[in-house]
């Protein structure tokens, strides 16, 4: 019954809301901006070092996952902030866990970048 009362949006609106969310995060969130800037460098490096299609898949998944994780972290932080203005240990824990998830994905992404690019960088300098 509750699902019947929920407002349904046309598919085009769903995409519009998604793009608005991406634009808001890119415009207002420093960490998203940092990840996007690093992504440009990684993509350019991929072209410079002629990485193969499987490496591109890993890079694309890393970039998409990293930016998505930052956006989810931001959504969690904003939701927690909306519900409580004063310090609460559970609010802190929710924010810390979300930030930890971003950190785990960032470490994995860096490891993927090292595996893909470090041998090429060493070869380039030798």
Looking up tokens 């970039």 gives: 63
20 is in an annotated binding site: no
Q: For the chain, what is the mean pLDDT? A: 93
Report the interhelical angle of 30-48 vs 53-83 (nearest 10°): 180
pLDDT for the residue numbered 1: 46
Q: Among the CATH numbers 3.40.50.300, 1.10.287.3610, 1.10.760.10, 3.40.50.1220, which is that of 22-125?
A: 1.10.287.3610
Rounded distance between C-alpha atoms, residue 53 and residue 82, angstroms: 43
pLDDT for the residue numbered 11: 83
Q: Which residues are catalytic?
A: 70
35 is in an annotated binding site: no
* Per-domain boundaries in the chain: 22-125
86 is in an annotated binding site: yes
Copy the structure tokens of residue 16.
């519009």
Rounded distance between C-alpha atoms, residue 59 and residue 67, angstroms: 12
pLDDT (tens digit per residue) in 62-106: 999 999 999 999 999 999 999 988 899 999 999 999 999 999 999
């Amino acid at each position: 019954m509750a699902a019947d009362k929920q407002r349904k949006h046309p598919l085009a609106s769903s995409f519009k809301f998604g793009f608005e969310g991406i634009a808001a995060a890119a415009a207002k969130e420093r960490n998203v901006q940092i990840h996007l800037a690093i992504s440009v460098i990684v993509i350019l490096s991929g072209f410079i070092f002629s990485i193969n299609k499987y490496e591109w898949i890993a890079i694309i998944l890393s970039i998409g996952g990293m930016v998505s994780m930052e956006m989810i972290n931001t959504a969690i932080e904003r939701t927690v902030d909306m519900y409580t203005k004063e310090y609460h240990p559970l609010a802190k824990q929710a924010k810390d866990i979300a930030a930890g998830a971003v950190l785990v994905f960032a470490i994995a992404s860096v490891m993927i970048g090292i595996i893909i690019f470090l041998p090429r960088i060493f070869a380039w300098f030798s």
